[in-house]
Structure 1
Amino acid sequence: MGLTRVDEYVMADDRHDSNLGRFSNSHNNLVNQYEEQSSSTYQRQHEQGHYNSMTDGFIRYGSHIVLKHNATGQLLSSHPVDYRAGSKQQEVFACRWPPDENHYWIILPAFGEKRKAADVVSYNTPVRLRHKMTRRNLHSHSDVASPKTNQQEVNCYGDDQISDINDNWLVQRHSYTNNYDNSGYWMVNDVITLRHIQTGATLHSHNITLYDDLQEVTCFGPGHEDNDKLGDSPVSIKRRGPDN
């Protein structure tokens, strides 16, 4: 999948109750303040007709991003519809252009970790990806099969207050072997993989649809395939009307 846009920062002070997976009011207030600010920024950029990547090109905690599956060109997405079988949690899929608000994911610190606001994301660092529209976290677990290929199901789970270790993903450079450099920082143009930390499987998609034009997204393999690539270059999104 290819990174198509980054936005601004979030005050991601990841305090939580480790027993319940619930975050403190302080954390939620910081996130809410960011959302109020970014909402006006989003509207202003929308009216200008395009979105600009951050000037320095770094992905940071709080960046709003769109991820493109490089092999098929489809965009990682979710919506408030649950799988009919398996986990029966919220569906995750890849779908066609143009991007809309269902394609945006917020980069947050991993469950159980604290990061300073707007810190850049290093490689080999765990993160969470929160779906902007539904507020649920990109999530997986080893004991549930995906609906079409019986690979590992990927879903969205939790909310602004509820999260767990199955929301954690390791950011790595894509490589066809295990012998590669994972030092440095995640940049807009990088080709990456997201590895599910609890199971070791990699976020993956392919030309197999769930239904309609929604492409199945799974976790599968060690991350060396073309179907595991998540990273390209930033793009401008053409202006749409205010009611679209």
Structure 2
Amino acid sequence: MLLAQRTVAFDPATHGFAFPNAFVNVALTLPTGAQITTAGRCGGMAYAALDYFLPGQPVPRWRSDLYAPSRVPPDSNWLAQYFTSRLYDSFLTGSAAKFVTWSLHSDDPTWVFKGVTRWTKEEELPRVMASIDHGRPVVLGLVVARSLGAIGDNHQVVAYGYERSEDGTVVVTIYDNNTPGRPVTLTSLVDQHDWTASNGRTWRGFFVQDYTPKSPRLLAHDPADPHAAVSAGDTLTLSHVWTGLTLHSHDLPYTHPGSDRLQQVTGFGGSDDNNRWLLAGTAAGSALAHGSVVRLRHVRTGRWLHSQTGVPSPISRQQEVSAIDDDSRDTWRVELEQPGPWLAGSRVRLVHVPSGTFLHSHKGSDPVLTAGQQEVTTIPGRDPDGWWTVLELA
């Protein structure tokens, strides 16, 4: 019989990230070029999930297949960088010292210390339950290591629910970023030392991590359903897959040598009306697919996405992308990874039909030439920086 049961309105499928914690971190590059790496950014993902959840902001709905074959945003993507920053924040808390001290202590009590089992059940578990009772999820440090050499095997998750039974069984519900999209439970019986996770791991114990909120970047107020079909007549925002920035235009002309002096098109790291584009196709409402030809009209200024052979971009000197009043020459062909319908969650390339070049972006900006925003260009061939995906759809 249950004695107590509480759950915060946190749903891993909605408030967690849709890709796993499969990051590889380069800790050191040796003179030979060989790299020493560590795995995972669990603390950064746990902190970031709360950064979005607590103020009621939607997390980016990017899925692992956007980043094939690595399954996670590359280090050039702002979200990957945010996870790294928040991971360091998690290590700089006073509570993070328990990853070291608990890894060196036994499960059982000694003549001085309670040990990991009693610390967890007598001190940390009541803190978890009290916070959840007040409607606030917490970051947990999960401990499995028994030596400093294995300290990297410890883990960080978000706890958002618990159950306590009459027989002494306790179940804690967590968002585990190693298992995206579904709840994971930690269960311990009254006479059990360890905590058994429903995704197959066994943990010695856990503690509540200190957490200070941080305002995350918000690029979409209403993220598109990845399975939604994209149609002519839709208004959308497009996100550059490799850096996570949004296709944007503003009423400032290019001024660099050789430019066409038309309206700038850039990659923008914020959310505003200058990110919205209308898809004009042959018939409004008709579903778009691999091979469809469209035009993109900037909603706020009414100008059309444009490129022209022989006009250099401001920084890389690739083919410039701008916005123009005359739409007669500027059509773009939809190129998906596989023939089929264009869905919001698809990776898509946009091919400028008159020049045969691909809409492209990369890290690079100038305070004057691109208003401090990321350069957008077209290039003759396909590369990873030519992938885009739909961020919002209306």
Task: Assess if the C-alpha contact under 8 Å between 2:225 and 2:345 holds in 1.
Answer: no
Residues 22-33 of structure 1: pairs in structure 2 closer than 5 A: none
Task: Assess if the C-alpha contact under 8 Å between 2:226 and 2:344 holds in 1.
Answer: no
Could you tell me which residue of structure 1 aligns to residue 372 of structure 2? 213
CA distance in 2, matches of 1:50, 1:81: 25
CA distance in 2, matches of 1:54, 1:148: 35
Q: Could you say what secondary structure the match of 2:385 adopts?
A: helix
Give the number of the structure whose alpha-carbon radius of gyration is greater: 2
Residues 9-88 of structure 1: pairs in structure 2 closer than 5 A: 50-51=221-222, 53=224, 57-85=228-256, 86-88=259-261
Cα RMSD, aligned residues only: 2.4
Task: Assess if the C-alpha contact under 8 Å between 1:95 and 1:213 holds in 2.
Answer: no
Task: Assess if the C-alpha contact under 8 Å between 2:253 and 2:262 holds in 1.
Answer: yes
Could you tell me which residue of structure 2 aligns to residue 33 of structure 1? none
Partner residue of 1:118 out of 280, 285, 288: 285
Give the paired residue count: 171
Q: Does 1:222 align with 2:393?
A: no
| TM-aligned CA deviation for residue 53 of structure 1 | 3.9
Q: Does 1:102 align with 2:260?
A: no
CA distance in 1, matches of 2:227, 2:377: 32
Q: Which has the higher contact order (CA 8 A, sep 6+)?
A: 1
Residue type of the partner of 2:264? E
| TM-aligned CA deviation for residue 173 of structure 1 | 1.2
Task: Assess if the C-alpha contact under 8 Å between 1:192 and 1:231 holds in 2.
Answer: yes
Q: TM-score, normalised by structure 2?
A: 0.41
Q: Does 1:184 align with 2:355?
A: no
Could you tell me which residue of structure 2 aligns to residue 173 of structure 1? 336
Could you tell me which residue of structure 2 aligns to residue 89 of structure 1? 262
CA distance in 1, matches of 2:269, 2:300: 18
The structure-2 alpha-carbon separation of the partners of 1:52 and 1:95, relative to structure 1 and needing over 3 Å to count, comes to closer
Q: Does 1:198 align with 2:362?
A: no
Q: Could you say what secondary structure the match of 2:366 adopts?
A: strand
Q: TM-score, normalised by structure 1?
A: 0.65
Structure 1 unaligned blocks of 5 or more: 6-48, 110-114, 175-180, 237-244
| TM-aligned CA deviation for residue 213 of structure 1 | 3.3
The structure-2 alpha-carbon separation of the partners of 1:55 and 1:196, relative to structure 1 and needing over 3 Å to count, comes to closer
CA distance in 2, matches of 1:50, 1:146: 31
Structure 2 unaligned blocks of 5 or more: 1-59, 62-219
Task: Assess if the C-alpha contact under 8 Å between 1:205 and 1:217 holds in 2.
Answer: yes
The structure-2 alpha-carbon separation of the partners of 1:168 and 1:56, relative to structure 1 and needing over 3 Å to count, comes to same
Q: Does 1:146 align with 2:302?
A: no
- The Cα offsets for residues 159-188 of structure 1, whole Å up to 9 and x where unpaired, read as xxx4212x11111014xxxxxx3x221111
| TM-aligned CA deviation for residue 52 of structure 1 | 6.4
- The Cα offsets for residues 33-89 of structure 1, whole Å up to 9 and x where unpaired, read as xxxxxxxxxxxxxxxx95364797110111111111111111110001111131000
CA distance in 2, matches of 1:72, 1:56: 22
Give the fraction of aligned pairs with identical amino acids, expressed as a percent: 29
Q: Could you say what secondary structure the match of 2:274 adopts?
A: helix
Residue type of the partner of 2:222? Y
